[in-house]
Amino acid sequence: MKFRAWISILILAVALAPVALSGERHDAKPAKSQTNGALEVEPTPPLSLQARLVNLQKNSNGGIASVALDAIAAADLREVTLTVTLPQGVSFSDGTQVYSQTINIASGATFDLPKDLIVSKDGKYNVSLEAVGNTSQGKPVRRGMTYKLLVGVQDKLPAVKDGAIEYKGVPGGGN
């Protein structure tokens, strides 16, 4: 019985010896020399929007917030209409709550729109930005975002437990 076990081990060793001695790797991932050299590129949208607080002149209640709204083009864009909509309690310096402007933006350019916002009282406010236009090839482009403006208040920070920030999960695991 022991002789048969030794014969089986010897046959297995002889069968695997060429593979082990060749130095070839047989992992699930191919070696770098085995890749086809294709470069993967993440697609980028032709237009992105950003908003940032430049200055806040705080009054006893409310204040004047200077914000910069940027439209950044990755392609030539024509007739892009930028619309900024303010919530109740916030207005532009002329008293309106909606501002709209149509522009053309060249590829790689940034359109900067500085605005002063008059805030009537302390609080959290959502400023909505939307851009609608066309690429130079006629393809429609639409982007939107919301900027959270904080005047006289702070955002509630998430709980910290054992040195890590705890974020609320999705009930049911998101299913």
Residue whose token pair is 């200077």: 66
Structural domain contains residue 9: no
The total number of structural domains in the chain stands at 1
pLDDT, tens only, 30-50 = 555 555 667 877 777 888 899
Structural domain contains residue 171: no
pLDDT of residue 147: 93
Residue 70 burial (10 A CB sphere; 0-12, 13-18, 19+): middle
Q: Which residues sit opposite 92 in a β-bridge?
A: 117
pLDDT of residue 5: 60
What does the block give as tokens for 94?
Answer: 């002329």
Residue whose token pair is 């299913």: 175
Specify the CATH number for the domain of residue 90: 2.60.40.10
**10 Å Cβ neighbour count for 39?**
4
User: What stretch of H or E contains 122?
Assistant: none
pLDDT of residue 24: 54
Structural domain contains residue 101: yes
Structural domain contains residue 157: no
pLDDT of residue 25: 53
pLDDT of residue 154: 85
Structural domain contains residue 17: no
Structural domain contains residue 162: no
pLDDT of residue 165: 78
β-strand pairing of 98-105 with 47-58: unpaired
Structural domain contains residue 3: no
Note down the domain range covering 106: 47-151
Residue whose token pair is 């024509």: 78
**Regions of the chain short of the pLDDT cut 50:** none
pLDDT of residue 124: 93
Distance CA 11, CA 85 (A): 78
pLDDT of residue 32: 52
